[in-house]
């Protein structure tokens, strides 16, 4: 598996992966995280234009997609709990894998950590596969954050518990 920036020509394959993820969530006890319309194509187009969208490629096929960027995430400024540190961090959002791409999600998160040793990520309380993956990869539960629309998300971080 390899990671590369998403190109505009990848858009159809990426949106198909998101559609598969939406259907999987609907069928497996997590109908509210993405519903049937998140993430919208326009958001993914903007992620690609900004250079923050990445794909995982396996055997010349896109196996997973995710947003990765070192930036301040506004919704992370207030947390019911505590982050491990206040050092600069990278965020991972909108990670999804193709239905037949076992191991791709872990590969993506391990790649992100190899790029930046302080990662923050959030997920819905009903997203059991992601919660299991974050635990397996050594992410620490830090508390609850609220999205712009007020929805709660469980927040995690992987990095040192002291300032870098």
CA distance 90 to 65: 16
Please provide residue 97's backbone torsions phi and psi, each rounded to the nearest 5 degrees: -125, 155
What pLDDT, on a 0 to 100 scale, did the predictor assign at position 164?
42
30, with CB counted inside 10 A (0-12, 13-18, 19+), is buried
Structure tokens at 28: 């497996």
Q: What domains, with CATH codes, occur in the chain?
A: 2-158 (3.40.630.30)
What pLDDT, on a 0 to 100 scale, did the predictor assign at position 161?
66
Q: What is the pLDDT tens value at each position of the chain, 164 positions in all?
A: 999 999 999 999 999 999 999 998 898 888 888 888 899 999 999 999 999 999 999 999 999 999 999 999 999 999 999 999 999 999 999 999 999 899 999 999 999 999 999 999 999 999 999 999 999 999 999 999 999 999 999 999 999 765 54
């Amino acid at each position: 598996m390899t990671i590369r920036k998403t190109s505009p020509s990848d858009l159809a394959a990426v949106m198909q992966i998101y559609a598969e993820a939406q259907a999987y969530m609907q069928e497996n006890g997590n109908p509210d995280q993405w519903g049937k319309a998140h993430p919208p194509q326009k958001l993914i187009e903007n992620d690609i234009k900004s250079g923050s969208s990445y794909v995982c490629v396996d055997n010349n096929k896109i196996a997973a997609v995710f947003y990765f960027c070192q930036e301040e995430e506004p919704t992370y400024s207030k947390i019911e709990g505590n982050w491990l540190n206040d050092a600069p961090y990278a965020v991972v959002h909108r990670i999804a894998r193709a239905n037949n791409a076992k191991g791709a999600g872990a590969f993506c998160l391990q790649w992100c950590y190899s790029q930046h040793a302080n990662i923050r990520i959030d997920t819905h309380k009903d997203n059991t596969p992601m919660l299991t993956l974050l635990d397996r990869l050594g992410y620490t539960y830090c508390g609850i954050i609220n999205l712009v629309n007020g929805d709660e998300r469980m927040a995690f971080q992987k990095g040192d518990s002291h300032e870098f």
